[in-house]
Amino acid sequence: MQRRTTLAAAAFALLAAVTTTDALAQTALRVFSGGANQRPDLMRKLFDQYQAANPGVKIDIETGGATSELQRQYLSTVLNAKDSAIDIYMIDIVNPAQYFGAGWLEPLDNYLGKPADVMKPFLPVYAASNVVDGKIAAMPAFADAMFMYYRKDLLAKHGVAEPKTWDELAAAAKKIQQAEGNPNLQGLSIQGAPIEGAVCTFLLPYWGQGKEFNDAQGRMTLDKAAATKGLQQWLTMVDQGVMKKNIAEVKTPDTVNEFKAGQVVFAINWGFAWDRFKDDKDSTVQGKVGVMPLPAMAGGQSATCVGGWQWAVSAFSKNKQAAANLVKFMASAEASKFLAAEGSLLPTYASVYTDPAVTKAVPWFQDAAKVVVAGKSRPMSKEYGQVSDTIRTTTSAVLARTKTPAEGVDEIESRLRRVMR
């Protein structure tokens, strides 16, 4: 209770600095706040704080879309229709370039200040992702990243150290699988179904070789040999029995549920999974879960896939100044602290990871910080829909063995060559 009181007081202090009641008198704002994983319940609490400090503002919340793909489909439809009913959107980290390029988002420079000054406090990957063509396209809401969760009890039991490379992970997993003698125990679970997570499944072993998929201007810089090697790494682990044969069917909730049930040694998943492992009544792994950086390919470097959500003002809003003021508050360090302490939502500020109130509420954030800071974003492209569809469907096809790794990489390169140039 003391933590909540302190955070709320700090939030109110910030509100007094960024808004005035008179300027926002009689303003109604409607905000699309994502689905359950984006915690609209906590966003509602922040909106209520804002309304209390600004009695002339009324904030309505709209939710929907269980996945990033479904939300993107809905938002693309609404924004393409130039609908002014929604003033503010919560969007995925890959969307600012896409939506801003389509003319759907209001540049925020005139409301918030120069991009270099406004973005300076944020983690670099979020600062870069939200500035498009030199303009502030959106503001960071909260971070996310893919983490390597693992059964720290099993590693301790069998004298296995945290693996630093994928080959080391495969060896560690096989040792534990054989020692446990449980035919249902998977060594590693990843997302192989043709969902957004499969974009990261493609990129992780590729980045882990020190390679980049695109340059700062968004042009594709694909190293085909490295990409082929990365996809082959996954197939090798299937052949070794580390990953199950139908990995091409595995979705994000499947990994979470199987790890909760004690059926997985290592699992790659997003930040929200931690609370599922820790708090769900059906979790069999409470108190047994560790978090570590993702392994690198031999001779490479650790890299993870960053996700996260941003606040953007609709180009078709009739209340742009009021919307920008609300976005400024929702992207503030105080709001980030509240979301971290109350909902385990990863901060976009490096400083918040070490804030005493946050580390007391969410101790594992001290381990999460080094993973998020080293994270990379999926390709920033005005045609991200095509980029995503190509990479995830092809990656799933390779994991299903309907294409070889070399054929899959050739397809990705040929289909995206003109899109990312």
Residue range 207-220: average pLDDT? Answer: 90
Counting other chains too, the contacts that 119-126 makes at CB distance below 8 Å and 24 or more residues apart are 121/333, 121/349, 121/351, 122/348, 122/349, 123/348, 123/349, 123/350, 123/372, 123/373, 125/306, 125/375, 125/376, 125/377, 126/93, 126/308, 126/310, 126/348
Q: Which pLDDT score is estimated for 22? A: 45
Residue 21 has pLDDT above 50, yes or no: no
Half-sphere exposure of 143 (CA within 13 A, CB side): 34
Asked if 206 and 226 touch (Cβ cutoff 8 Å), the reply is yes
Instruction: Indicate the DSSP class of residue 362.
Output: -
- For the chain, what is the mean pLDDT? 91
Q: Coil, helix or strand for 332?
A: coil
Tell me if 301 sits within 8 A of 204, measured CB to CB: no
| Residues with Cβ within 8 Å of residue 344, at least 6 apart in sequence | 271, 272, 274, 275, 362, 365
Sign of CA dihedral 219, 224, 225, 231: positive
> Does domain 146-305+381-416 bear CATH number 3.10.129.10?
no
Q: Is residue 26 very low, low, confident or very high in pLDDT (cuts 50, 70, 90)?
A: confident
> pLDDT by residue (tens digit) across 129-175?
999 999 999 999 999 999 999 999 999 999 999 999 999 999 999 99
- With the C-alpha atoms ordered 416, 94, 131, 103, is the resulting torsion angle positive or negative? positive
Predicted model pTM:
0.84
**What is the tens place of the pLDDT at every residue in 294-318?**
999 999 999 999 999 999 999 999 9
Question: What percent of the chain has pLDDT above 90?
Answer: 77
Domain with CATH 3.40.190.10 in the chain: 2-144+307-377, 146-305+381-416
Residue 54: pLDDT band with limits 50, 70, 90? very high
Judged against a pLDDT cut of 70, whether residue 191 lies above it is answered with yes
For 14-21, what is the mean pLDDT?
A: 49
Weakest-pLDDT range from 118-127, 199-208, 343-352, 363-372:
363-372
411 pLDDT higher than 90: yes
| 2-144+307-377 fold | D-Maltodextrin-Binding Protein; domain 2 (3.40.190)
CA geometry: angle 350, 353, 354, nearest 5 deg: 105
Ranges assigned E (strand) in 63-210 = 88-92, 131-132, 135-136, 139-151, 186-189
Examine the pLDDT at 258 and tell me if it is beyond 70: yes
Q: Is 109 exposed, middle or buried (0-12, 13-18, 19+ CB in 10 A)?
A: middle
CA 411/CA 94 separation, integer angstroms:
22
Distance CA 20, CA 55 (A): 10
Residues 6+ apart with CB under 8 A from 156: none
pLDDT band at 68; cut points 50, 70, 90: confident
Helices (DSSP H) in 132-223: which residue ranges?
A: 152-157, 166-180, 197-207
Q: Over 90: is that where the pLDDT of 12 sits?
A: no
pLDDT band for position 15 (cuts 50, 70, 90): low
pLDDT in tens, 355-399: 999 999 998 888 788 888 878 989 888 888 899 999 999 999 999
